[in-house]
């Protein structure tokens, strides 16, 4: 199962990639290498142990926190969101369910322009004012875009809403809920929600442009929330996939729910409940992109293959993943 490292390294050079790439097959690490700077101003290089922002990749953590509450009976997949919203957000249809939100089929309105340029300022007010799903409630008070269950439409707002519901249902702050229900059971020792105003030396700063010191600190909430923003390492990405596949986070029947495509999905990029399921079948994926951040991690449990690309600059991971997917397709033939 040979990886064309020459082609991969050529793509790294061509695209001025800054981040870390790791590829594993069973117990064998086929490739691991870091590139560029974690902190350009102070000349600190990225390493295999650097923590990178996940952007929307950590939506999967939100889904698992919710599913853990489903497993214990605190929530149910077909519960109406109104059960926890009460009179809040009256524009959200009472027919919207937890399952709809997990599968991006709720039809709820969006608070964020996901197609905007990476350096645009998308959220009103100061980024320090967004530390909890409750802080997003005014932004979520928007009209429905479609009838609940009528189709697939990727929704950041829907996942913020999931975090809000989980926080209210459990009585535990969202970030701590994920730590308790997902990160610790999975054994993730280097993954967490880090505040942008107190990043540890192990974390990469997110940059907006090549050869620039401009960071993403004014573009993203001060602490990751339910639609994304946790930090992880490439090693923890592998640990996470193995924990998910073995039922260490939620029971296997709920993992099956997560990894079953929802109706109306893109045939090339199906979605389950909190996971992308790209073709060919059997691949699980976490994907995230934001100002100064891009990550892609994919796993094939049937063949115990994992490949992860973490970047601390906008629009950097895609070209690397193109080469890794060609390797995957050849490996699975």
Separation of alpha carbons 153 and 107, rounded Å: 7
How is residue 199 written in tokens?
């990043």
Cβ count near 275 (within 10 Å): 24
DSSP 189-257: SS-B---GGG--TTBPPPBSSTT---BSTTTS-SS-BTTB--EE-HHHHHHHHHHHHTTSSS-HHHHHH
Beta bridge partners of 310: 20, 295
Torsion sign across C-alpha atoms 55, 61, 63, 66: negative
The CA-based angle 46-112-16, given to 5 degrees, is: 25
Separation of alpha carbons 248 and 240, rounded Å: 9
Q: Are the C-beta atoms of 116 and 123 separated by less than 8 Å?
A: no
203-218 as b/e, with b when 16 or more CB fall inside 10 Å? Answer: bbbbbbeeeeeebbee
Q: Is 56 a catalytic residue?
A: yes
β pairing state of 284-290 and 293-300? antiparallel
Of residues 56, 170, 196, 314, which has the active-site annotation?
A: 56
Separation of alpha carbons 311 and 232, rounded Å: 11
Supply the residues annotated as catalytic: 56
């Amino acid at each position: 199962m040979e990886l064309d490292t020459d082609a991969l390294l050529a793509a790294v050079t061509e695209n001025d990639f800054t981040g870390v790439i790791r590829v594993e097959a069973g117990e064998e690490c086929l490739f691991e290498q870091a590139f560029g700077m974690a902190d350009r101003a102070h000349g600190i290089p990225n390493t295999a142990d650097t923590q990178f922002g996940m952007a929307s990749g950590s939506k999967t953590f939100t889904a698992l926190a919710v599913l853990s509450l489903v497993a214990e009976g605190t929530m149910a997949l077909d519960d109406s969101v109104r059960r926890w919203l009460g009179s809040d957000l009256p524009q959200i249809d009472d027919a919207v369910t937890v399952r709809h939100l997990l599968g991006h089929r709720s039809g709820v309105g969006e608070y964020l322009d996901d197609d905007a340029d990476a350096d645009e300022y998308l959220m009103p007010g100061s980024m320090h004012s967004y530390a909890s799903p409750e802080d997003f409630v005014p932004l979520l008070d928007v009209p429905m875009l479609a009838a609940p269950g009528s189709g697939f439409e990727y929704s950041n707002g829907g996942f913020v809403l999931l975090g809000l519901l989980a926080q209210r249902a459990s009585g535990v702050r969202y970030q701590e809920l994920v730590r308790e229900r997902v990160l610790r059971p999975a054994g993730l020792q280097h993954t967490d929600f880090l505040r942008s105003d107190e990043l540890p030396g192990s974390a990469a700063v997110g940059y907006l442009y090549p050869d620039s010191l401009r960071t993403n600190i004014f573009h993203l909430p001060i602490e990751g929330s339910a639609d994304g923003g946790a930090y992880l390492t490439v090693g923890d990405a592998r640990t996470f996939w193995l924990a998910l596949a073995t039922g260490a986070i939620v029971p296997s029947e709920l993992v099956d729910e997560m990894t079953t495509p929802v109706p109306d999905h893109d045939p090339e990029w199906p979605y389950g409940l909190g996971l992308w399921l790209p073709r060919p079948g059997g691949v699980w994926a976490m994907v995230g992109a934001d100002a100064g951040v891009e990550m892609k991690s994919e796993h094939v449990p049937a063949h115990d293959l994992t490949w992860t690309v973490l970047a601390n600059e906008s629009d950097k991971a895609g070209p690397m993943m193109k080469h890794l997917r060609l390797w995957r397709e050849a490996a699975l033939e």
